[in-house]
Structures are given as C-alpha cells and as structure tokens.
Structure 1
C-alpha cells in the first residue's frame, strides 16, 4: 500500500465524519497506526496536520472561498484559442489542436507516454512535442485502456513509452517549491470544441487553494446560465491537475463530484491549501 493509499483512506474516513470532528487517535486507529506515526505520515504527505485538514473540509470555508472568487474569474479577454494563461506558480500554456492536426489524426506526430507515481496515486501521462495531451489518474483502469483511448484520438500518430522524458514533466508539475521561475513553462496540447477550450482556459485562472462555482465559470466565459454545459466540459478535461477542474465546486459550497474520485479531489484541495494559503489562514 502506498502513502497515498493510506492518506486516501484517512481522508475518506475524515470526510465521512467531518461533522463529528474525529480525533487523531480515532483516525490513526482506523488505519491501524499509532497516532504518532499517522501524524508524521499525514504531515509528510500533505504538509498540514489532520486537524488543519478537517478545517479545509468545512462547508463554511468553501462558501468563503466562493465569495472571494469573483475577481479571479475576470478572464473574458483571455479565452481566445491562441492566448496563454498564467497559473500563479507555474506558467501553463494551453494550445488547441489545429483543424489540420485533427483532420490527419496526428499523422507524422510522435506521442510519448508512461505511468508515474504522484502525490495522488499513479497517473498516465502522454506528451506531444507541443505539450501534454493527456494526464489521467489511474483508478481501476488498466494502462491499456488509456492507450486505446489515446490511439482513438490520434489514430495516425506514433505512440511509444518514454519514462525519462515524461518524468521531467511530472517533476515540474508536482515540484513542492513555490518559486518556479527556473522551470521551463509547461505546455498543454489538447483538442475540444471552442466552448470546451474556453472553459479550460477559465479554469487556469483559478488560483491554487481557491475555488469557483460552475455558474461563476459560465459567467466568466460569457455564457451565463450555461452551468450544466460548463460541468460537462469540466468532466471531459483531458489534463487533470494542471487544468484544475478540482477547483470547481457547487455553488452551495459542497465539493461535488470529480472524474477521478471525490476523495482525490479532497486530497488535492488539502495539498494545495498546505502550499498556497498563508499560515494564519
């Protein structure tokens, strides 16, 4: 069992009992660990104590974050298909697949892929010379399923495994340092409808440890009232974590669903809060 497996079990236990505020001893007992070892494990992984994580899960905190998110989504000038977006501690450039690339099915294109461990479990990543074209967390699926979907999207591309090349991208994505000025900008190479691309660009404007509702994203891209369509676009996001669909929650303050599991969504929120919120928050 990996550290993330243990943390995910703890997060699920905490989330199901958040109203009763489980103690450190109760959570540790659930994992069959001593309180001391569980506290060390949790702090090493999340950078915060289990008590702090309980605060992250509260509905009141989510509602406060929503009320503060309006200025973060003033992105109507940056939803065109050719513009880039600053993602606070990373530079993330989103480039849409051209009609020509789509028409040829990736003929002449080389795609490299691999499976890697991350703070949130194993992931499947695929990259083109222009950037990341797929990043998915592995649940019960086999790698072959991801490869099959990749081949369907790019039927004429050359696809092969390259752990060394993809590892460099993984390390850039999950670098724990806040100063990333020394890193090469991270690029994404994805295809979708104009509406989907606009939604994904808007998500890049939501800062780490902040959230927005589906209706706020819809308003930001100029389609107020299309929250359901925004939800569908969020659900087919091809690049997890970097296109931060985990930062979109229900307007009630509840986290809502997540393609890669609600427990993982809670874990990412805790991880980001530990790194981007001031200590006194």
Structure 2
C-alpha cells in the first residue's frame, strides 16, 4: 500500500476489529484441540459467523478453520519429532484418530504422518541436473510434483545435499533425463500449471503462497509481503521464510527486494536474482 492508496476502513473500526480478533485468537489458542466450529469462534469475538470469517481472514491471512488446522499440525509435528507414535500424535492434535491426522499432514506437508515421523523413510525422490536460463539447475521431484529447484553453486553435490537435508532418510535416485523434462516443461514449454509438492511449516507455506501472487516483471518488498500475510512488523520472519523457499523461479522470491530497493537476500546469489528480473523485464 502506498501513501496515495485509500484506507480500506477507518482507524476506529480497525482498532475494534483488532480487539475482537485478539479475543478470538485467545479463544482458539485455548480450545483449538476441541476444533471449535465457526459459530463458537465467532461468539468469542462477539460477531456473526459471516462477519467473523471475513475479518479474521483479513487480519490473520487464513480462515479460522485453517488457523486451527495449522495449530493442530504444529502440535502433531512436534509430537512426531519427539518420538510419538501416530496414534499419540493424533490425540495430541485433538483428532479422533490416524485417518484425520493423515488428511492433516497431506494438506500441510504433502506427506503422510508416517513418512514425516520417519524423516522421509519410505519416500522416494528423483533428482537430477539440467540446463536452465540461469545456470545448471538441480531438480528434486516427488511423486506429487516438483519439490525443489536449486542451482549448482558452488557444485551439484553441495546443492543436492542442501535439498536432501530436510528428509535425510528418503530414497533418492538420480535421473538427469527426468530433470531435463522438468526443465523443458518450466522454461521451454511454459504451458499449464506446474504441480508443486512443497514441504514446509504452515507459516512458510503461507509466505510462499503470497510470493506466487507477485506478477512477473514486478517487485515488492519484504514489508509488502509481511503486510499481506500478517503485519508489516513481521518483515524479519517473512525474510526467513522467503530465504527457505526451495523452488527457485516458480515461487518467485527473486521479486522481493529490500525496503530501499536493493537486491539482497537471495539464496542463489544476487547476480542470478538480477538476471531473473532482467529476463522477466525483457519478456514482458
């Protein structure tokens, strides 16, 4: 938002909304394991369900249901990382059983709880290298889509190890031919959506979704993204999530600049970021 943009609602209304959403967040923080319905959450804020849904989604960036789901997923993930079995993790998340936990993990991580608990054991990835307009690309492909696109700096091996660190127990098979097919689909064909299989926290995925809304040829600041997903004060947290983006180019973190317009904070190098922006500008 610039100084010339209209204020979407007056400051008194904004203050009143904040108080209500603060009450709702407190309620959901206390009772999320009960997975309260929309009516119950709305009552905690003193609003009608329709009004509450709209205001909550605007302030928090996700619907009340998705917010509760994110809390449940975080609790289950923490339990699993601590060694809990699937049934105990289900109960920790306030779910009735493993079936609902399965759906929760697929929605948030595109892996099953068992695969998450095993740190990728049982998951199979294809990986390989292929030329791209921005140097030698390293591709990581899951059964449901592309999981990562990195660049071989300083070497293919170091780039692959960086990608493999998230799920060290998964199986990896090198297939440069498959990587080339993905490179051609992304950079040469350019037709149709590219399926992505992203592994990250709910916060990271929310930031990555915001990056996908930046049009080609345009840039925004970290503060702009923070204001969209939460609050401008979250710029530093947004910067960390942007830096953790595993899929270069397609999730366009190269379009995010420092508040003073500098090309900073790109995982694969400022020179490559500059080249990507110039490539998009020339193609516009």
Same fold (TM over 0.5): yes
Q: Indicate how the Cα distance of structure 1 residues 122 and 189 shifts in structure 2: closer, same or farther if over 3 A, else same.
A: same
Query: How far apart are 1:95 and its partner, in Å?
Result: 6.8
Q: State which of 106, 109, 119 in structure 2 corresponds to 1:105.
A: 119
Q: How does 1:118-157 map to 2 (within 5 A)?
A: 118-140=132-154, 142-157=155-170
d(CA) in 1 for partners of 2:62 and 2:283? 29
Query: How far apart are 1:105 and its partner, in Å?
Result: 2.1
Determine if contact 2:151/2:159 at 8 Å carries over to the other structure: no
Q: Indicate how the Cα distance of structure 1 residues 246 and 171 shifts in structure 2: closer, same or farther if over 3 A, else same.
A: same
Query: How far apart are 1:77 and its partner, in Å?
Result: 5.7
Tell me the residue number matched to 1:256: 264
What is the RMSD of the two structures over their aligned residues, measured on CA atoms? Answer: 3.3
Q: State which of 168, 171, 180 in structure 2 corresponds to 1:158.
A: 171
Determine if contact 1:96/1:197 at 8 Å carries over to the other structure: no
d(CA) in 1 for partners of 2:130 and 2:252? 19
Is residue 202 from structure 1 mapped to residue 196 from structure 2 by the alignment? no
Q: Give 5+ residue unaligned stretches, structure 1.
A: 1-63, 69-73, 83-93, 277-281
| Structure 2 residue matching 1:105: 3-state secondary structure | coil
The Cα offsets for residues 232-273 of structure 1, whole Å up to 9 and x where unpaired, read as 111111111111100001222222232111111111001011
Q: How does 1:60-75 map to 2 (within 5 A)?
A: none
d(CA) in 1 for partners of 2:167 and 2:241? 20
TM-score, with structure 1 as normaliser: 0.60
Q: Which structure is richer in relative contact order (CA contacts within 8 A, separation 6 or more)?
A: 1
Q: Indicate how the Cα distance of structure 1 residues 268 and 149 shifts in structure 2: closer, same or farther if over 3 A, else same.
A: closer
Number of residue pairs the alignment of both structures matches: 193
User: Between Structure 1 and Structure 2, whose CA radius of gyration is higher?
Assistant: 2
| Structure 1 residue matching 2:246: 3-state secondary structure | coil
TM-score, with structure 2 as normaliser: 0.60
The Cα offsets for residues 24-83 of structure 1, whole Å up to 9 and x where unpaired, read as xxxxxxxxxxxxxxxxxxxxxxxxxxxxxxxxxxxxxxxx9xx99xxxxx99469x699x
